[in-house]
């Protein structure tokens, strides 16, 4: 009151500047992180993919050979196709098994639902490598499955068909990724107001029609989140392929991984990496497109990861 308006204005300005500085200072660490540790490394990887590989070193000569070579290569396209197919099959299986789990949990009493959710959440956080390893102990020639089959008299000799192939990789991935499918669907189902189901019944729909016209469409967002996450995890898999795949179960991630030893072809590996990212992005776009068909709800692919999304 007693201060001159000019002084007041000055003080206000100072406070404003101070506030802006504070905000910026808060922003800085994150910005630095994004630029230095995410942006630059990915940039390097992009640049490397266009450089020439000389044995034991990388020549700074721009080239498209790393990408073009992948097409001409007899193996890479096959491995990429196998990877896409495996990811799709794993995702479809997770959806086919995960939706019923979510449905059963959504229909049960709150107490059982909480317990079921807990049972699903615990494996979500356990080490992937160890879970995959465990499948080796189940599917191997000396594994638990073979022991069981012999003990039951189904086979007399151990069967070596279970391990070191793509189906083994797929089974282990389904087992490990299933919770990621169930939890977002369950969340979506829990949010369907009971009155909507009653309204559908009231308007003459049989239980089956209620499911297909109301329950399933309203779970769409959860399905999308689950599908996105499982797809991303499956398509980038290295561990399952390495441990359970054998030569016939090689997936792209494992091939890329193999390119980055000290004596290997880094530019080629980088190019493979970007092809993998492009493939993944393309598949996610298709999924998002499918999810948007014929609905009034806007659906976005954010919220993919049930471990992350708020």
Partner 1 sequence: MTLGGRLGGVLTRTVALVGFVLIYAPFVVIVVLSFNDSPAATLPFKGFSLRWYERLLGNDAIIAAFGNTLLVGAIATIVSTTLGTVIALSLRRARFPGRSLYEFVLSLPFLLPEVIVGVATLSFLLLAGIRLSLGTIILAHILVTLVVAERTVAVRLAQIPASLEEASRDLGRSPIQTFFLITLPNLRSALIAAALLVFTVSFDQTIITFLVAGTDQTLPTYVWAQVRRGFTPELNVVAAIFLIASSLLGLAIAWTLRGTGSPLKTGGGRP
Partner 2 sequence: MTAPGGSSTLPSIELRGVAKTFGDGFQAVRGLDLSIRSGEFVTLLGPSGSGKTTTLRMIAGFESPTRGEILVLGQDVARVPAHLRPVNTVFQDYALFPHLSVFDNVAYGLKAKRLDRTSIAEKAGAMLERVGLAGFGHRAPTSLSGGQRQRVALARALVCEPRVLLLDEPLGALDLKLRKQLQLQLVELCQALGITFVHVTHDQDEALTMSDRIAVMHDGRLEQFAPPHELYDRPASTFVAGFVGENNILRGRLADGSVALADGHFGLPAGTTLRGPDVDVAIRPEFIRTGPARESDAVVSVTVEQVIFAGSETRLVTRLANGAPLMAHLPAGAAAEHRRGEQISLAWSVDDARCFEAPVGPSTSPAIEAGESEE
Q: Which of residues 132-171 bind partner 2 (CB under 8 A)?
A: none
The residues, any chain, with a CB within 8 Å of residue 243's CB and separated by 6 or more, are: 129, 132, 133, 135, 136
Closest separation between CB of residue 217 and partner 2, Å? 5
Residue 232 interacts, among partner 2, partner 1, none and using kind-specific CB cut-offs from 5 to 8 Å, with: partner 1
Closest separation between CB of residue 210 and partner 2, Å? 8
Q: Does 5 bind partner 2 (CB under 8 A)?
A: no
Binder to partner 2 among 30, 151, 156, 202 (CB under 8 A)?
A: 202
Which of 120, 250 has the CB closer to partner 1? 120
Which of 225, 270 has the CB closer to partner 2? 225
Q: How many residues in the shown chain lie near partner 2 by CB under 8 A?
A: 23
Which of 84, 210 has the CB closer to partner 1? 210
Which of 6, 17 has the CB closer to partner 1? 17
Residue 38 interacts, among partner 1, partner 2, none and using kind-specific CB cut-offs from 5 to 8 Å, with: partner 1
Q: Does 111 bind partner 2 (CB under 8 A)?
A: no
Evaluate whether 113 touches 106 at the Cβ level (below 8 Å). Answer: yes
Residue 29 interacts, among partner 1, partner 2, none and using kind-specific CB cut-offs from 5 to 8 Å, with: partner 1
Evaluate whether 184 touches 146 at the Cβ level (below 8 Å). Answer: no
By rule CB under 8 A, what string of x and - marks binding of each residue 261-300 to partner 2?
Answer: ----------------------------------xxx---
Residue 248 interacts, among partner 1, partner 2, none and using kind-specific CB cut-offs from 5 to 8 Å, with: none
Binder to partner 2 among 84, 169, 188, 200 (CB under 8 A)?
A: 200
Closest separation between CB of residue 51 and partner 2, Å? 50
Evaluate whether 88 touches 306 at the Cβ level (below 8 Å). Answer: no
Closest separation between CB of residue 176 and partner 1, Å? 8
């Amino acid at each position: 009151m007693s201060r001159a308006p000019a002084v007041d204005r000055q003080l206000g300005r100072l406070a404003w500047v101070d506030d802006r500085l504070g905000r910026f200072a808060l922003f800085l660490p994150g910005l630095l992180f994004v630029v230095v540790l995410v942006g630059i490394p990915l940039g390097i990887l992009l640049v490397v993919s266009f450089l020439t590989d000389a044995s034991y070193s990388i020549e700074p000569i721009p080239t498209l050979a790393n990408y073009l070579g992948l097409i001409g290569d007899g193996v890479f396209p096959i491995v990429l196709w196998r990877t896409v197919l495996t990811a799709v099959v794993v995702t479809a299986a997770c959806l086919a098994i995960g939706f019923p789990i979510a449905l059963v949990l959504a229909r049960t009493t709150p107490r059982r639902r909480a317990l079921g959710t807990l049972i699903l959440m615990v494996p979500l956080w356990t080490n992937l490598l160890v879970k995959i390893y465990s499948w080796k102990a189940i599917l191997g020639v000396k594994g638990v499955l073979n022991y069981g089959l012999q003990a039951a008299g189904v086979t007399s000799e151990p069967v070596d068909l279970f391990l070191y192939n793509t189906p083994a990789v797929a089974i282990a991935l389904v087992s490990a990724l299933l919770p990621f499918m169930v939890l977002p669907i369950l969340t979506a189902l829990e949010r369907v107001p009971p009155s909507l189901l009653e309204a559908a019944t009231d308007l003459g729909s049989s239980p089956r029609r209620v499911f297909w016209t109301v329950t399933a469409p309203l779970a769409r967002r959860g399905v999308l989140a689950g599908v996105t996450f499982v797809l991303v995890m499956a398509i980038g898999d290295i561990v399952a392929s390495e441990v359970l795949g054998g030569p016939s179960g090689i997936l792209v991630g494992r091939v890329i991984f193999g390119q980055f030893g000290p004596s290997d072809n880094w530019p080629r590996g980088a190019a493979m990496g970007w092809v993998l990212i492009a493939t993944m992005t393309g598949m996610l776009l298709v999924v998002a497109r499918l999810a948007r068909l014929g609905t009034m709800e806007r659906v976005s692919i954010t919220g993919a990861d049930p471990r992350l999304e708020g």
